[in-house]
Amino acid sequence: MNNGSKFQTGYIPDGYTLDGFIDEVRGQHPTLSFKYRPIRSQDRAVIQDRIQKAQPSKSEEIKASAIASSVIEWDLETPDGEPVSLETKEILKCQPTLTDSLYLIVAGFAPTGINPEWNKAERDQVADDELEKALGGVNANEEIAVKN
């Protein structure tokens, strides 16, 4: 049984970080590699409640603030190649589909993408984890081992 990796965890201890990746969407944004502290369930509930009750522009500011407090490093650059700081005001300038994808990952609503630079074992682990989620928590590798 695998309770965690650098891409997922079932328990979030203080200071724990995960690696994340978002694929390029041609015509919208480049790939994004990042390291983040997952948002815990109680915090996510508060954030979601405030997003739902806020005016549209304020709800985007809340999302950007949640991203700024969760993401600890990323490789996002300006069109001139300068690093983009992890501040709410800068996150609000990001491509909306990138911001939405990033929020969904850090808040635990969506899985990270698979970074082609991760080694094969790391990529396989993410793929196995996603298959396990799709099978409702059944670990396909354990099932195959039991059947053989």
User: With b meaning 16 or more CB within 10 Å and e meaning fewer, what string describes 8-30?
Assistant: beeebeeeebbbbbbeeeeeebe
The pLDDT of residue 16 is: 85
In the chain, where the domains are located: 18-117
User: What pLDDT shows up at residue 91?
Assistant: 98
Q: Provide the pLDDT for residue 130.
A: 63
Q: CA distances (Å), 73 to each of 18, 64, 135, 140, 147, in order?
A: 11, 14, 32, 33, 43
Q: Would you state the pLDDT for residue 11?
A: 76
Instruction: With CA atoms as reference, report the closest residue to 5 among 19, 15, 25.
Output: 19
**In the beta sheet, which residues pair with residue 74?**
34
What is the overall mean pLDDT for the chain?
84
Q: What share of the chain is helix, strand, coil (3-state, %, to 5)?
A: 45, 15, 40
CA distance 135 to 121: 21
Could you say which residues of the chain have pLDDT below 70? 1-5, 7-8, 120-148
